[in-house]
A = this chain, B = another copy of it.
Amino acid sequence: MEAAAALPNAIPLRNHVMPRPRAVLRDVSRAQPVCSTCQVREKCLSEGLDAATAKRVDELVATRIRLRKGDTLYRAGASFTSLYAIRSGSLKTLLLAEDGRDQVAGYHMSGEVLGLDGIGNNVHECQAIALEDTEVCPMPFDRIEQVARDHPTFQRNVHRYLSREIARQRALMLLLGTMRADQRLAAFLLDLSQRYQARGYSSSEFILRMTREEIGSYLGLKLETVSRLLSRLQQEGLIQVQGRVVKLLERGALKELVGQSA
């Protein structure tokens, strides 16, 4: 990962604010049907749509954005116009407080939709940064709303997606509010595992796309704690770690760890 990605807990992050203008727009308007084959459609917004509706949703996407590792998709404060479907790769979203405190708010992988937090005030509330080379499809939100008005099923999907984001964050709150450090880490690994599996990858062995510091930021821990706990879990035989490669050896024990109240 790149300097960028790290979470200078004090003030910095200026390397993001000084943009590396690397993001590239590609015109795909005349390309073959994009969305029809895209995971995004399968997973959420286009679930259960009839052909006509699906076609209209397809038409929402006219361009594609390529991001390189460390590139920023949008910044906090940037005006909101579109949601972004992640076509490939992954990103993190970063919460910034006025005083420089920041925190990783989430890790997002292919098939997920980014930018929901911007709807409220037409301004993005957080910053989205690519963790690796990544492609996203912008979907203008006013046009999403248009389609939603004509197609109740799609409308319902949009609402569902928003609501699930709320539920996802609640789970994270519970984690931050009630779990010990080792439980948080175990929950994090299990969550990643499950999401990789849902995408057809191995659920027992995967690569962490983020640094220890970023993991810690997300979980409300310090990087040393994350490192120590990874070592400990390995020593206890629950996982195997080799740099960013993680293997879950005892999924049951991990779940039990997360589950034990207090």
Contact = CB atoms under 8 A, between A and B. Distances in A.
Interface string A117-133: 11111000110000000
Copies of this chain: 2
A259 interface: yes
A103 B174 contact: yes
A99 to B, nearest CB: 5
Contact of A169 (B173, B217, B259): B173
Contacts of A125: 167, 170
Count class of interface residues, chain A? 35 or more
Interface in A160-182: 160-167, 169-174, 176-178
A105 interface: yes
B99 A178 contact: no
A99 B220 contact: no
Nearest to A160: B120
A95 interface: yes
Contacts of A99: 259-261
B120 A177 contact: no
Given A120-B167, A126-B170, 18 more contacts: A10-B261, A95-B171, A95-B173, A97-B259, A98-B259, A99-B259, A103-B178, A118-B163, A120-B163, A121-B164, A125-B170, A145-B159, A148-B149, A162-B163, A162-B166, A165-B166, A177-B220, A178-B220
A66 to B, nearest CB: 27
